[in-house]
Amino acid sequence: MKRRATMKDVAGRAGVSITSVSHVINKTRKVEARTRALILAAIEELHYQPNTLARSLKGKGTKTIGVVIADIREDFFAEVVGSIEFTASEQQYSVILCDSEDDLVKERFYLNMLISKEVDGILFAPVDMDSTYLFLVESGIPFLQIDRKIPQLESDYVGIDNVRSAAAATEHLIRTGSRKIAFIGYDDKVYTQKLRREGYRNTLTHYGYFNESYRLVVGYHLEVTRDVIKEFFSSHPDVDGVVCGTSNVCYETIVALDQLGRRIPENIRLASYDESKWFDYLKFPITVVAQPTEEIGRLAVDLIIKRIRQKKKRVFEQVILDTELIVR
């Protein structure tokens, strides 16, 4: 394996001191133009790459933010990540993106990996709201929870009002004629799903329509998810409305209903989370709770950089953003 070029190699090729090379790379002192040109030429010839980890250990920082999301296949996370990368780039930070695929073991692996790389800060959407992350706290690296949350873990947070938004979606279904409304989503260990189900339940209870048997918990991207949903509708033929916990759940629900021959909105009405381009191509209406994905990503980056620069500040910020109910 070819040996990686060092700062000493660059200095030797350019015929200058290692100190001069360091000043050019770290921009710590102005270097005479001719000397700087020789150093830059040597860097290019040797394909020299600065050791960002070593620089971080000297207190320089890596200018890197680690991001651990629950599932890049979710429209929501894809859009938030796009906003995170754009905002970080504007502030001259790079991003290391990790997808836990809603797997607790993978999430812990990625968090430990980011800690070992000495990233300056971490943004993450926790898989399980009951987990403990003492190792993350002890690392001393600033972190922020995004979208999802572990309530007992003190940190900055950026998300939405899940209870209120789910209540609005449920009320819309009631106002359009639905009475036997189901909630299809993931397990309550997922922070957002628990609160969305709470908003759904509170609203139906208020109107006297709540029925616990109309709740369906599905697995995360399991091959049997669609069959489970079909079986649910087959055993609950009276369900005339559904609140879907995510856009992926909504997709599986639509396919299941189509295979069962149930028509939207004639037989059943749907409300879901996250505006998606493919909704515009459907021949039937799907009402959605649109989350401010661009703002969530931007504020998360702004907050984590603020935390990086003010590590001693102990008051954590909890940012709850408004959603929009797009009625179709």
Each residue's pLDDT tens digit, 213-231:
999 999 877 778 899 999 9
* CATH code for residues 64-160+293-322: 3.40.50.2300
Q: Is the dihedral of CA 268, 271, 274, 275 positive or negative?
A: positive
pLDDT for res 51:
58
pLDDT per residue as tens digits for the range 267-291? 999 999 998 877 878 888 899 999 9
Say which range, 9-18, 30-39, 54-63, has the weakest mean pLDDT.
54-63
Distance CA 162, CA 22 (A): 50
pLDDT at 170 over 90: yes
* CATH code for residues 162-290: 3.40.50.2300
The residues spanned by each domain of the chain are 7-50, 64-160+293-322, 162-290
Domains 64-160+293-322 and 162-290 are alike in CATH topology: yes
Q: Which of 63, 64, 69 is nearest to 297 (CA)?
A: 69
Distance CA 124, CA 122 (A): 6
Burial class (CB in 10 A: 0-12, 13-18, 19+), 209: middle
What is the band of 52 on the pLDDT scale with cuts at 50, 70, 90?
Answer: low
Instruction: Check residue 8 and give left, alpha or beta (phi > 0: left; psi -120 to 50: alpha).
Output: alpha
pLDDT at 80 over 60: yes
Share of the chain above pLDDT 90, in %: 64
Q: What is the mean pLDDT of residues 66-94?
A: 93
For domain 7-50, give its CATH number from 3.40.50.2300, 1.10.10.10, 1.10.260.40, 3.20.20.140. Answer: 1.10.260.40
